[in-house]
A and B are shown apart, each in its own frame.
Chain A
Amino acid sequence: MNIIVCLKITPDPEDLEVGRDGSISTERAEWTIGGFDLPALEAGVRLVEAHGGKVIVLCAGPAEINNSKIKKDILSRGADELYTIVDESLRHAGTARTAAVLAAAVQKLGEVDLVLSGEGSADLYFQQTGVQVGERLGWMTINAVSQIEVGANGALAIQRTLEQEIELLEAALPAAIAVTSDIHEPRLASMREILKAGRKPTFEWSLAELGVADLPETIDILKVEAPPRVARKQVMIEGSPEEAAKALLSHLRKEGVL
């Protein structure tokens, strides 16, 4: 079974800086593989370990994704090949354009049975791109999948986690599946895998090579800002620990929260 895993490489949300004026900066953020995407890679690698085939990772984004450390990280976690699609226009692309680019890459690769994506990207978490890729390919498309097995008939036996229930589904291949972040704990690469990663093939495609250089953009980003801050009383309580503890409890009783 040949599997493509779509990973988004983004500025680490943990490195987000918020200015006192409400401005947002990711300039000093380290770029990383999305934390919700790694479980998708793990799911793909496990399926290939059990059933054969290969895992191809697909990443689309601006020049920052061309980072040798991140590439090595991806390939040391069990991916066999890595394709990056680098273009500045992908930095702020709407999900429609990102999905069209990824779907074009899947079609160009051909001979693929399954496309996996994570629950949502680490930066935007719109939970859209994976399912849009599947629909653009015209494939069986399912989200929130928390378990994937290959049944005796060659179809996938899938567990899907909804708000209040679990669904067990059977789905024919080819399929595009967005997995939950708890489908698998991502593996830590072994030294052997890290050494092997440097010899694995990596490829870079341009939008023109995929025939998607002139796609129209569907959104115009007007503003990114910090959410409005809640006004707080900011009462600082002084005194010994015992006095402060008593004073705090007295305030909390007056507030009616005890």
Chain B
Amino acid sequence: MSDASQTLVYSEDENLLCELIGAAGAFHRPVAALVTSPSAEQRAAEAGANLVYRVEHIPAGTLSEDVLPTLAKLVHDSLFDVVLIGSTVRGRLVAGRLAARLNTTALTDVKSFTLESGSITIRHMIFGGGAERVERSLSPAVILTIGAGMFDAPPAQPGRKAETTPLEFVPPEKQAVLRERKALPPASVNLAVAKRVVCPGRGIAKQEDLAMVNDLARALGAEVACTRPLSEGLGWLPRERYIGISGANIKSDLYLGLGVSGQVQHTVGISGSRIVVAVNRDANAPIFEQVDYGIAADLYAVVPALIQALREH
């Protein structure tokens, strides 16, 4: 990696594109952005991109992923050695295909990265968030994918212009034909945005007892989540309601665990909650090492008392 080389950023999501420009600033060298629309060109310039490559003459009906051959040619011709790609569904496809063409590994969903003595070291999650892995790239060209919200976009400088280079669209050899596009139906629950979450675990003895949990959730204005065994094992609650590895990660103000033991497979999903509370009759349950407030008592006595106290207030 030479100091003269540049970093290239690409995302079809304009907000994420700006965040990538912010992330690329850490390399302290020029940042170029690949864009396919005038609005993205403007956003990239205002976010501080030094150079913008604008793809032109894109045929109608082209999927945004079809930019891949143009991107690959740019990386090859201009000797980019670091490419940051927004980690969306489309971005992950582009990153994987570019990685295959460059015979390298795309380092995905990077939480942080450093550039030291010419090589890039990154940190990302494995085991569904149960662990983090630190890796050093051994490739001459490095592809990183970065998810939305991981890095800050630089403050926009309205009216700023960047040096723009038009780029001819390179048609792909193989293309899927778009037949139709429709909006996704909304999910029944989005735990990721819930303000308060009540979460029953294995300490709940029978499915009927969830009625009491639902009552408490209503009194608190909370969503009902669960641990994985209640969903995948017992089928008491749908899949989108379990928290943890391969399930939801919450960012609520309040998490209230009821009969949750505190296995790491579950607790990785609650680390983003501001206040964590647990009720469990086993005073030695591991969950109590990770709470702000704990009640070591029978949840079958505490839950009705909580409902009563909330009603009285």
Contact = CB atoms under 8 A, between A and B. Distances in A.
B130 interface: yes
Given A219-B137, A257-B254, A257-B275, A170 B128 contact: no
Most B CB atoms within 10 A — which of A18, A128, A141, A229? A128
A227 B134 contact: no
Contacts of B164: none
Interface in B299-313: 301-302, 304-306, 308-310, 313
A221 interface: yes
Interface string B226-257: 00100000000000000001100000011000
B96 A139 contact: no
A236 B296 contact: yes
Classify the interface of chain A: helix, strand, loop or mixed. mixed
B31 to A, nearest CB: 24
A217 B104 contact: no
Interface string A126-152: 111011111110111111100000000
B46 to A, nearest CB: 24
A166 interface: yes
B282 to A, nearest CB: 13
B206 interface: no
B115 interface: no
Interface string A1-41: 00000000000011010100000100000000001100000
A135 B97 CA distance: 5
A50 B310 CA distance: 57
B108 to A, nearest CB: 4
A171 to B, nearest CB: 4
A162 B245 contact: no
Interface of B: 63, 88-90, 92-93, 95-97, 99-101, 103-109, 121, 125-139, 173-174, 176-184, 196, 220, 228, 245-246, 253-254, 264-265, 268, 271, 274-277, 288-298, 301-302, 304-306, 308-310, 313
Interface of A: 13-14, 16, 18, 24, 35-36, 94-97, 99-100, 122-128, 130-136, 138-144, 157-158, 160-172, 216-227, 229-230, 232-237, 241-242, 244-246, 248-249, 251-252, 255-258
Given A96-B100, A96-B103, A226-B131, 12 more contacts: A128-B92, A128-B99, A131-B92, A132-B99, A138-B173, A139-B174, A140-B174, A157-B179, A170-B176, A220-B137, A232-B290, A245-B306
- Per CB-CB distance, the 6 closest pairs between chain A and chain B, nearest first, are A131-B96, A94-B105, A135-B100, A245-B305, A241-B301, A257-B253
